[in-house]
């Protein structure tokens, strides 16, 4: 039988925190268990057992509401150290099958198992082995999606939860048919703003997008997004799991002592991270072409988002501008546990490789030069008087 070019698994533990509690406390088994803040406290649900989900309880819901929905639910406080230990055990299981593991959060990961097929069998066989391995070693269940790429694997792992195994047909026509009825919000990169734009065009399912006129889509979303979405709606996704070893990057992150919801406080911390990263870039003589935002919510789910910079930069102003754009787009009204800022695609020159020569004379370039001078002056002052001697106006108000 012909082997497909790539095989990815997405492994997602079922109601992870709640399942760990039920495993460790047999008296909780079969009961609606809510992990998170107690019902009489301000705070939210970090995880709900499947018994609790039947009452409409889900993570990020205020505990108070959860209690209203299911008065006899058992509230258990977070035992993060324990969940982390179990998580490490599970990640080690993954690594015994393939070195290409990309954790998405404490309880889920992508595995590129393409190179492991000759050892462990095809994607489905390997998914069953991993599920059994996890069950035997941890007494927990996982749902797995098997697919030719990451986007489809992640969709698939969710299709037969809990304790499910879903193999996406490795066939273009069947893939498009499977995606067609799904709501457009299930597609990667479709946030609230994009969803609204698409809805205004009459696109509510992935199938609607498959049939939509590409040129009209380009006018509304711009060429880059339109191209990406037109591929994704057909199940095409070329991303790879890198080992990361040769990827140069500079980043910095902070874990808050308490989960933070105050936007100003989050922004102030984030701006300080950006300035530190920018200073490190300048010191190392690098310019960044990509910036990254990392956010971890109080329930431990983590997102990483990135965007490209038109002209490679290492000055505070540009990095703050681009960084804040990312933050504004992705910050939600949810408590934040960790925030990070990073840069990659580092170059030793700030001259864009792909742009035309006449761009160097544009006002954009003049502004760019001015920003570089300002940042170098700021570095000189910091060097002399210490890092906190220089803050931008916005930090002070």
Interface with Mg ion by CB under 5 A: which residues?
12-13, 16, 107
Tell me, what DSSP letter sits at residue 20?
H
For residues 144 and 125, the answer to whether their CB atoms sit within 8 Å is no
Choosing from 21, 108, 321, 369, which is the catalytic residue? Answer: 108
CB of 79 vs Mg ion, minimal distance in Å: 17
What are 92-95's contacts with CB under 8 Å, separation 24+? 93/130, 93/133, 93/134, 93/137, 94/11, 94/130
DSSP state letters, 179-224: HTTSBGGGSTT--HHHHHHHHHTT--BHHHHHTS-HHHHHHHH-HH
> Does 107 carry a binding-site annotation?
yes
Spatial separation of the C-alpha atoms in residues 315 and 307, rounded to whole Å: 16
CB of 104 vs Mg ion, minimal distance in Å: 10
Tell me, what DSSP letter sits at residue 292?
E
Cβ atoms within 10 Å, residue 368: 19
Nearer to Mg ion (CB atom), residue 135 or residue 370 = 135
CB of 24 vs Mg ion, minimal distance in Å: 17
Comparing C-alpha atoms, which of 88, 71, 87, 76 is closest to residue 49?
A: 76
Nearer to Mg ion (CB atom), residue 8 or residue 16 = 16
CB of 108 vs Mg ion, minimal distance in Å: 5
Is 253 a catalytic site residue?
A: no
Spatial separation of the C-alpha atoms in residues 289 and 314, rounded to whole Å: 9
Comparing C-alpha atoms, which of 245, 371, 258 is closest to residue 309?
A: 371
CB of 109 vs Mg ion, minimal distance in Å: 11
Nearer to Mg ion (CB atom), residue 61 or residue 324 = 61
Which two tokens mark 18? Answer: 């709640």
Nearer to Mg ion (CB atom), residue 83 or residue 341 = 83
> Does 12 carry a binding-site annotation?
yes
Spatial separation of the C-alpha atoms in residues 287 and 10, rounded to whole Å: 34
Nearer to Mg ion (CB atom), residue 12 or residue 21 = 12
Which residues carry out catalysis? 108
Binding site per annotation, positions = 12, 107
Binding site per annotation, positions for Mg(2+) = 12, 107
């Amino acid at each position: 039988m012909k082997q497909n070019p790539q095989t990815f698994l997405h492994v997602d533990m079922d109601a992870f925190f709640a399942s760990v509690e039920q495993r460790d406390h047999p008296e909780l088994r079969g009961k609606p268990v809510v992990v998170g803040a107690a019902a009489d406290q301000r705070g939210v649900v970090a995880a709900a057992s499947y018994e609790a989900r039947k009452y409409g309880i889900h993570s990020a819901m205020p505990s108070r509401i959860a209690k209203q929905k299911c008065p006899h639910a058992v509230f258990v406080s977070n035992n993060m150290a324990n969940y982390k230990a179990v998580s490490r055990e599970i990640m080690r299981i993954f690594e015994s099958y393939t070195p290409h593991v990309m954790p998405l959060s404490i309880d889920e990961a992508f595995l590129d198992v393409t190179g492991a097929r000759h050892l462990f069998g095809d994607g489905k066989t390997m998914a069953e082995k991993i599920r059994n391995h996890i069950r035997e070693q941890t007494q927990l269940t996982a749902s797995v999606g098997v697919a030719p790429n990451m986007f489809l694997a992640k969709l698939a792992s969710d299709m037969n939860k809990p304790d499910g195994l879903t193999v996406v047909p490795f066939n273009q026509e069947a893939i498009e048919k499977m995606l067609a009825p799904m709501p457009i919000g299930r597609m990667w990169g479709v946030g609230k703003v994009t969803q609204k734009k698409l809805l205004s065009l009459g696109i509510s399912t992935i199938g609607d997008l498959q049939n939509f006129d590409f040129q009209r889509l380009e006018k509304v979303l711009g060429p880059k997004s339109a191209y990406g979405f037109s591929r994704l709606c057909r199940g095409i996704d070329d991303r790879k799991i890198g080992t990361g070893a040769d990827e140069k990057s500079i980043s910095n992150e902070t874990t808050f002592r308490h989960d933070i919801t105050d936007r100003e406080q989050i922004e102030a911390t984030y701006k300080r991270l950006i300035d530190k990263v920018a200073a490190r870039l300048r010191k190392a003589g690098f310019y960044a072409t990509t910036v990254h935002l990392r956010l971890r919510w109080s329930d431990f789910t983590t997102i990483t988002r990135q965007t490209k910079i038109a002209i490679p930069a290492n000055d505070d102003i540009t990095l703050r501008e681009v960084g804040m754009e990312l933050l504004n787009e992705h910050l939600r009204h949810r408590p934040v546990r960790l925030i990070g800022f990073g840069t990659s695609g580092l170059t030793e020159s700030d001259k864009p490789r792909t742009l035309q020569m006449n761009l160097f004379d544009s006002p954009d370039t003049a502004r760019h030069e001015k920003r570089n001078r300002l940042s170098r002056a700021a570095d000189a002052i910091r060097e002399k008087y210490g890092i906190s001697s220089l803050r931008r106006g916005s930090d002070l108000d």
